[in-house]
Amino acid sequence: MKPVITAFESSPDRGQGLARDMRVRWALEEVGQPYDVRLVSFSEMKQAAHLRLHPFGQIPTYEEGDLALFESGAIIFHLAHRHAGLLPEDANARARAIVWMFAALSTIEPPIVELEQSEYVDGDKPWYKERLPMLEDRIRVRLGELSNRLGDADWLDRAFSAGDLMMVMVLRRLEGTGLVEEYPNLSAYVERGKARPAYQRAFADQLAVFTSKSEKNR
Ligand SMILES: N[C@@H](CCC(=O)N[C@@H](CS)C(=O)NCC(=O)O)C(=O)O
């Protein structure tokens, strides 16, 4: 049975693959699991049918038979348990890879999301520009620490894992800020992730949603 995920019908990032369905698509491609996508509009996400799947009215969701999941981290964790290819077999290496998934979501992503949101929420406030360097410096602290840990390795803990998938996707949220580029090893790490064939298939699929919609609107 093919799982079904949800994604934005009209992604605000115009096909850049920054919405969180991209992580799930990438994980599905890494493990070779075919899937279907149900596109949802912003208003549909807030209606009862979608809220039954996702209590916060967001994407992505994941349905597989009578199992319905939300939270990109939990979905990828589920896929990594069900299929080979995203977590190492060795129990300790597996536990360490899971640490990196959590680190991406709970240590690296929050200050990045705070920077993004400050622009939407406070971009018009007189103090917005004064606060910006502080928010960027908070991110730099984490990037510096991550860069030190990665060193000249290809991946965070030897073989590529769901931890790297999540970290690469979280770091991608900084595209356009120049922050990741201040750490050449992190920049190369993100590019290494993006070069994976599974990433490229996932990226092309989510981009096709945007391009087919733009063609229809011509
Ligand atoms: N922690 C959630 C975050 C989900 C999330 O923020 N989704 C965004 C798209 S990337 C969304 O649906 N935004 C629309 C909204 O919140 O109304 C996850 O990782 O799945």
202 band by pLDDT with thresholds 50, 70 and 90: very high
Could you tell me the pTM of the whole model? Answer: 0.96
pLDDT of res. 91 = 98
pLDDT of res. 218 = 64
One-letter identity of residue 41: S
Ligand 1 centre distance from Cα of residue 151 (Å): 31
Quick: pLDDT tens for 179-197.
999 999 999 999 999 999 9
Pocket of ligand 1 contains residue 167 by CB under 6 Å: no
pLDDT of res. 213 = 79
Q: What is the chain's percent helix, strand, coil content, to nearest 5?
A: 60, 10, 30
Pocket of ligand 1 contains residue 58 by CB under 6 Å: yes
Ligand 1 centre distance from Cα of residue 72 (Å): 9
Ligand 1 centre distance from Cα of residue 97 (Å): 23
